[in-house]
């Protein structure tokens, strides 16, 4: 059986793409114009419209809602946020604890709101299990676990090899850390359900409408301009396609594979009855979920970045990446050596120069943006959206500062990425270093992180 490659994602192949919405018919006005119909843009429209029902909100989506990472991700709805440790250093531990608490609450918020809106997104709140299978990974796992507990996660648990195997039998796993603040989702069911909910509230969504330029109070498209006091850029990995934003966030690729549904006898061997989302402590880490129909969907980095910030070819990924992901799958579960891979695909995430997610409303121009989530945007997009709602309400005099507008990631500024070829060289060197470090840690059984990885982290600005 041959593997389907691309077609946006397995999730779309399973669900089918919804009927297209009309493009922007011409010039128009709105109170708020949201650019991008992924989780960030749609949640923002959702919360704004709920808070102020008379607002005229227009969403402009270049392709169709969920075309980006929101329709392609690994379905980890979890409490990680890119940049928390850096925010702790800049704003103090307490501020970062508040950010972490807000992320923990965000997982609950998404699960609750999906239920309220009758969005059936195969949500299963089994938490997140991250495993270690080399001595160096185990040392990192323990350090990671302590840090998370110090940021307020007192309900996180550290497991040895036997307790890990009681949950999921990953070959050679020597330990794991589990947090209850995570759920498995079906990404496309969430994004299409959310788009429908937003529309039902009275928000206008135009698809096949790429915004070429954003200026204060203007979103410019080939079909007309939307004039609005607030224009919100929610375009994550595709941000370089907008005029003037080539070096704002780097579009980083992530690729995935999904197996055919696995029979009960294989699940008896693997375990995974709790359907936790599953990850590891490698530098070039993997992430996986057990789907509602009993497949394994597993992702990792693949070719990390394409020259000149090129973003997409409808989700196709390289044959070498499919082989590499299959290797990880079999390394985790050798019994799966012969199972067919039904689908492979890829997508882009947005990576800021300092690897810190952010949400901002520039009060002098009415321009806002949220993103730079790196690999942790499924939940973070929801927190960003509620924060944009509060920032707009504050700006328009309807409320004062809130618990969300005072979080340390609000209004964060970061420098732009280097021009090419430095950008390409930098990212490729970084991931080559991570792969080398993973290989050396596995082959030498050293109990410490390989210095190549530490150096790569420092040089890249990642830690």
Ligand X SMILES: Cc1cc2nc3c(=O)[nH]c(=O)nc-3n(C[C@H](O)[C@H](O)[C@H](O)COP(=O)(O)OP(=O)(O)OC[C@H]3O[C@@H](n4cnc5c(N)ncnc54)[C@H](O)[C@@H]3O)c2cc1C
Provide the binding-site residues for ligand X, judged by CB under 6 A: 35-41, 60-63, 67-70, 72-76, 210-211, 234-238, 241-242, 254, 256, 287, 299, 347-349, 371, 373, 375-379, 381
Q: State in angstroms the smallest separation of the CB of 348 from ligand X.
A: 6
CB of 6 to ligand X, least distance (A): 12
Q: Give every CB contact of residue 295 below 8 A, 6+ residues apart in sequence.
A: 258, 259, 260, 261, 262, 342
C-beta of 63 vs 326, nearer to ligand X? 63
Sheet holding 175-179, edge to edge: 4-5, 341-351, 250-259, 296-300, 287-290, 277-280, 128-132, 175-179, 157-160
Q: How far is the CB of 253 from ligand X (least distance, A)?
A: 7
The CB-nearest residue to ligand X is: 377
User: How many whole angstroms separate alpha carbon 462 and alpha carbon 294?
Assistant: 35
Residue 422 C-beta: closest distance to ligand X, Å:
24
Task: Give the C-alpha separation, 131 to 346, whole Å.
Answer: 24
Residue closest to 99 by CA, chosen among 412, 403, 463, 414: 403
Q: How far is the CB of 345 from ligand X (least distance, A)?
A: 7
DSSP string, 374-405: TT--TTHHHHHHHHHHHHHHHHTTS----TTT
Give the nearer residue to ligand X in terms of CB position, either 43 or 133.
43
Closer to ligand X at the Cβ: 198 or 234? 234
Q: Which CB atom, from 242 or from 452, has the smaller least distance to ligand X?
A: 242
CB of 125 or CB of 399, closer to ligand X = 125
Separation of alpha carbons 423 and 349, rounded Å = 15
Which residue number, 107 or 437, has a Cβ lying nearer to ligand X? 107
CB 17 to ligand X: min, Å: 12
Only one residue has tokens 């949950």, namely 167
Query: Under a CB-based contact definition with an 8 Å cutoff, are residues 3 and 343 in contact?
Result: yes
Closest CA to 298 of 252, 264, 346, 265: 346
Residues in the chain: 463
Q: How far is the CB of 455 from ligand X (least distance, A)?
A: 26
Instruction: Give me the sheet containing 213-215, strands edge to edge.
Output: 28-29, 224-227, 218-221, 213-215
Q: How far apart are the C-alpha atoms of 60 and 65, rounded to whole Å? A: 9
* Closer residue to ligand X (CB): 309 or 449: 309
Residue with smaller CB distance to ligand X, 350 or 408? 350
Would you say 38 or 127 has its CB closer to ligand X? 38
Q: What's the closest the beta carbon of residue 452 comes to ligand X, in angstroms?
A: 25
258: which strand partners? 297, 343
Check residue 412 and give left, alpha or beta (phi > 0: left; psi -120 to 50: alpha): beta
Question: What is the helix (H) or strand (E) element at residue 80, kind and residue range?
Answer: none
State in angstroms the smallest separation of the CB of 448 from ligand X: 28
- By beta-carbon proximity to ligand X, the closer residue of 280 and 450 is 280
C-alpha to C-alpha distances, 337 to 83, 328, 329, 331, nearest whole angstrom: 37, 10, 8, 9
- Tell the smallest beta-carbon distance from residue 162 to ligand X (Å): 27
């Amino acid at each position: 059986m041959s593997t389907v490659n691309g077609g946006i994602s397995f999730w779309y192949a399973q669900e089918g793409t919804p009927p297209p919405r009309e493009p922007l018919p011409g010039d128009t006005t709105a109170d708020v114009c949201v650019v991008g119909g992924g989780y960030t843009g749609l949640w923002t429209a959702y919360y704004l419209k709920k808070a102020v029902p008379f607002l005229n909100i227009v969403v402009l989506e270049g392709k169709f809602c969920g075309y980006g990472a929101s329709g392609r991700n690994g379905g980890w709805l979890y409490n990680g946020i890119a940049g928390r440790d850096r925010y702790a250093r800049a704003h103090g531990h307490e501020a970062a604890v508040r950010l972490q608490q807000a992320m923990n609450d965000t997982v609950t918020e998404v699960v609750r709101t999906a239920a309220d809106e009758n969005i059936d997104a195969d949500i299963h709140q089994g938490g997140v299990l991250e495993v270690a299978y080399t001595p160096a990974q185990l040392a990192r796992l323990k350090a990671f676990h302590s840090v998370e507990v110090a940021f307020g996660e007192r309900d996180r648990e550290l497991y040895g090899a036997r307790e890990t195997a009681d949950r999921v039998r990953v070959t050679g796993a020597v330990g794991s850390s589990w947090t209850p603040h995570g759920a498995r989702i079906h990404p496309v069911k969430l994004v299409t359900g959310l788009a429908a909910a937003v529309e039902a509230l009275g928000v206008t969504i135009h698809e096949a409408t790429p915004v070429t330029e954003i200026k204060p109070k203007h979103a410019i498209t080939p079909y007309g301009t939307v004039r609005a006091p607030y224009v919100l850029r929610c375009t994550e990995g595709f941000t370089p396609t907008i005029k003037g934003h080539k070096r704002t966030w780097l579009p980083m690729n992530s690729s995935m594979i999904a197996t055919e549904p696995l029979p009960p006898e294989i699940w008896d061997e693997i375990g995974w009855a709790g359907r936790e989302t599953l990850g590891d402590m490698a530098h070039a880490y993997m992430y996986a979920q057990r789907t509602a129909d009993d497949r394994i969907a597993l992702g990792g980095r693949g070719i990390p970045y394409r020259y000149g910030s090129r973003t997409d070819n409808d989700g196709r990924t390289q044959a070498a990446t499919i082989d590499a992901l299959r290797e990880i799958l079999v390394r985790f579960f050798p019994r799966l050596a012969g199972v067919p891979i039904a689908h492979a695909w890829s997508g882009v995430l947005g990576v800021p120069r300092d690897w810190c997610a952010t949400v901002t409303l520039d009060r002098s121009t009415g321009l806002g943006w949220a993103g730079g989530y790196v690999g942790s945007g499924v939940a973070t997009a929801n927190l960003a959206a509620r924060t944009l709602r509060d920032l707009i309400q504050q700006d328009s005099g309807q409320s004062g500062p809130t618990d969300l507008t005072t979080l340390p990631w609000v209004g964060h500024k970061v420098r732009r990425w280097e021009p090419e070829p430095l950008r390409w060289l930098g990212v490729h060197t970084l991931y080559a270093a991570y792969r080398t470090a993973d290989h050396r840690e596995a082959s030498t059984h050293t109990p410490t992180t390989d210095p190549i990885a530490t150096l790569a982290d420092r040089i890249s600005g990642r830690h």
